[in-house]
Structure 1
Amino acid sequence: MSKDRIEYDASHIQVLEGLEAIRKRPGMYLGSTGERGLHQLVFEVADRAVNEVLAGRAGAVHITLTADGSVRVADDGPALPAEEADALLCRLPAGRRHAGRHVVALGLGGTGLCVANALSSRLTTELRHDGVRLLREYGRGVEVTPSAAAPSDPADATGTVITFRPDTEIFGTAQYAFDVLADRFRELAFLNRTLDVTLTDRRAADGPRSERFRSPGGAREFVALLGTGAGSPVHLEVFGFEREVPEMGGTVEVALRWHRFPGARLASFANSSPTPYGGTHAAGLRDGLASAVGAFARELGPVAAAQPGATIDGVGEGLVAVVSVKLDQPEFQGATHGVLGNAAVRDGVAEAVREEVGAWFARDPETASAVVNRVLRDAHPA
């Protein structure tokens, strides 16, 4: 150890004011300063607009990737009050802005607009109401042009438009990937039937590319897409249900179909956030399916008896499924929220799946027999 005494006091502590902390450590707020971070920046801004639609205050969200590298996010709901817009853009919130089953969180830390403002070389807001547009411009988190009123197009009576250009000092030459953004918004539309999002890319010289994401069929349509290339289905119709489960403090939606391909494709979500490593909701789905399939298999005694050693361990063989829970108080394991940990969810989902799938089998014994044969015979060939 050095004989020189190392002095450390309050003078060594650097306090970052305002949005300076975001610019100093952008990776803490976006996870990356490459393409992944750019995509997250879009999600942070779209977060508020998407929740306006889900709350019934807006009808649709329009997201445009412009030719100059900017991103425009517009919704047709009531315009943000100017004071609220300024607070969202210029102050880091103490915690998440919203929580619970009725909202989605696209952003990583719930900091939303202020992250985009801090990490954009230019950001403008346009608040439309009562025939007037209130315009304001920022540069790297600092107001450049104070609020100014201008006439509004009668076709755009109300709404909020935020346009931002990511700062190349932070993101370098990273570019948005249309398909990455489209995949997430498509996923959100499957999980939230009332959502209506349009993504348009105007960067290509050969003309714009646009896709609308709206899914009245919900998780059933999701399973149909996930099953593409999975071989012939055991049953033509995708089975699905949605129900309230008071014991776990939320709802569960499940959609599934068995195919004749090896393996399984299971997508799980909690409050519309992907849980790539599963958790209690995925375990509950497996438990419920094993119970329902096992019960019907016992009714088909000869079928099970014809397969010595066959069990329902292969209940997931050939299965394409989506399980989505929306909880008042989700509990995730780890900082990335990749695993759902609510203990009550496992039993709640399992019981719902057992009852709903059991009732389906009772209504359609022919399909039930085909599923049991797939699980017991095809998964355990002689």
Structure 2
Amino acid sequence: MSEGTSRYEATHIEVLEGSEAIRKRPGMYVGSTTVRGLHQVLFEVLGRSVNEVLAAGGGCVDVTLMLDGGVRVTDNGPGVPVEAAGDSGGVGLESLLTRPHIGAAPGDRYSTAWSTQGMGPCVTNALSSRLTAEVRREHVRWVQEYVRGEAVSPPAAAGPADSSGTSITFWPDADIFETTECSFAVLAKRFEDVAMLNRGLSISLTDERPKGGPRAVRFQFPDGPADVLAALDADSGVQVPPDIIAFEREDARMAGRVDVALIWRGLSEERIRTFANCVPTREGGTHADGFRAGVTAAINTHARRRQLLTATDPDLTAERVGRILTAVVSVKLDSPQYEGATRGKLGGATVKECVEQAVREYLGTWLAQNPEQAAEIIGRIKAPSWD
């Protein structure tokens, strides 16, 4: 190295920690500084609330888009532990809001996936001009304020509480995001999907910003994927018959659960919507492959047993079986494996095997118990009009 060349030393390394690092490179944590990143900031908080109430067996989460640009997320869970109160039963409030990689909930099949990085509310705190946290726990209400990720003061007791839960209100930093206006329509669709896939969850969205007055929606569905399927066909203007075939099954081999709803109806196209831990898998994956294989096997086995296919007829292909099929396939896994960083396609050979077996067995039993409907379905699948 020549004397004129600058030496690279430890003093030249810029060390960024906590909120400073997040604010320096926000795109690394929420994907972008557009409205997509803005929504991710909300999801980091919302995911914690949803998973907490689901872990308790169900509950309510309410999101409000406030008139002054703030966003409030409130749940009726047990309330985040507060270090200042001596709580030590889990991740404390200050840790949750200041430490990366704390995570919003256990990474198991009962958790919904909202975050691509698993950072949780600390990202929201760092990328907000200010944030207020309120915890209602053990009959005490605790409040703490933050400015750009830094605590103004420790959590303080602010009086009695007659309920439990956590409320986090934040104002996205206009110096970071291109817009601080969340899309009501985009959020409502995401909330609806998550509510449909999680029985026992009630989630609402209220928008205080319209000049004509607030608007609000609440989503709560008792039937899981069957409700998703009904909504999917309703969007097409198709009258959904009442006899949706639906079931769920746990399988220790894949450390998870599969939840399926399907129906054959008049449209000459396959419509299969898939989810992994409540995230839409738009490119499909092993759960979709297993579903198609299981349906095809069940249909062919039943058709052969009932002599709806002759000895010289070839097996019905997955493509043909799926032409008039609408289905929703949701898997919830302890450790989902994705092909690629976008989570658009699920991997894992065991998932395919488990889903295929579950569908083949359940649908095979249903077809045997409903022979007239089975014959009608197979007749429609075989019909030359679908060639």
Using structure 2 for the length normalisation, give the TM-score: 0.90
Secondary structure, in 3 states, of the residue corresponding to 1:105? coil
Partner of 2:88: none
Kept in 2: contact 1:233–1:260 (CA 8 A): no
Quote the Cα distance in structure 1 between the aligned partners of 2:240 and 2:379: 10
Residue 147 of structure 2 is aligned to residue 163 of structure 1: no
Which runs of 5 or more structure 2 residues have no equivalent in the other structure?
84-91
Secondary structure, in 3 states, of the residue corresponding to 2:206? strand
Quote the Cα distance in structure 1 between the aligned partners of 2:174 and 2:257: 43
Residue 120 of structure 2 is aligned to residue 93 of structure 1: no
Count of residue pairs the alignment pairs up? 378
Partner of 1:219: 225
Secondary structure, in 3 states, of the residue corresponding to 2:155? strand
Residue 140 of structure 2 is aligned to residue 106 of structure 1: no
Cα 1:111/1:226, change in 2 over 3 Å:
same
Kept in 2: contact 1:124–1:164 (CA 8 A): yes
- Can you list the C-alpha shifts for 1:83-139, whole angstroms capped at 9, x where unaligned? 311001111126775312121121221111100100000100111234432211111
Partner of 1:368: 374
Moved more, 96-105 or 134-143: 96-105
Quote the Cα distance in structure 2 between the aligned partners of 1:57 and 1:349: 25
Partner of 1:352: 358
Partner of 1:334: 340
- Can you list the C-alpha shifts for 1:244-271, whole angstroms capped at 9, x where unaligned? 1222222111101112213222111112
Structure 1 vs Structure 2: percent identity of aligned residues? 48
Partner of 1:45: 45
Cα 1:375/1:12, change in 2 over 3 Å:
farther
Quote the Cα distance in structure 2 between the aligned partners of 1:379 and 1:43: 46
Per the TM alignment, residue 147 of structure 1 is displaced from its structure 2 partner at its CA by 2.9
Kept in 1: contact 2:191–2:219 (CA 8 A): yes
Cα 1:120/1:363, change in 2 over 3 Å:
same
Residue 129 of structure 2 is aligned to residue 121 of structure 1: yes
Quote the Cα distance in structure 2 between the aligned partners of 1:297 and 1:58: 42
Residue 65 of structure 2 is aligned to residue 65 of structure 1: yes
Kept in 1: contact 2:205–2:217 (CA 8 A): yes
Partner amino acid, structure 2, of 1:163: T
Secondary structure, in 3 states, of the residue corresponding to 1:163? strand
Secondary structure, in 3 states, of the residue corresponding to 2:108? coil
Kept in 1: contact 2:188–2:205 (CA 8 A): yes
Cα 1:82/1:210, change in 2 over 3 Å:
same
Kept in 1: contact 2:126–2:148 (CA 8 A): yes
Secondary structure, in 3 states, of the residue corresponding to 2:228? helix
Kept in 1: contact 2:104–2:121 (CA 8 A): no
Per the TM alignment, residue 296 of structure 1 is displaced from its structure 2 partner at its CA by 2.4
Quote the Cα distance in structure 1 between the aligned partners of 2:158 and 2:4: 65
Cα 1:233/1:364, change in 2 over 3 Å:
farther
CA RMSD of superposed structures (Å): 2.5
Secondary structure, in 3 states, of the residue corresponding to 2:199? coil
Quote the Cα distance in structure 2 between the aligned partners of 1:60 and 1:234: 29
Quote the Cα distance in structure 1 between the aligned partners of 2:328 and 2:289: 12
- Equivalent residue for 1:172, pick from 178, 184, 197: 178
Secondary structure, in 3 states, of the residue corresponding to 1:93? coil
Per the TM alignment, residue 76 of structure 1 is displaced from its structure 2 partner at its CA by 1.6
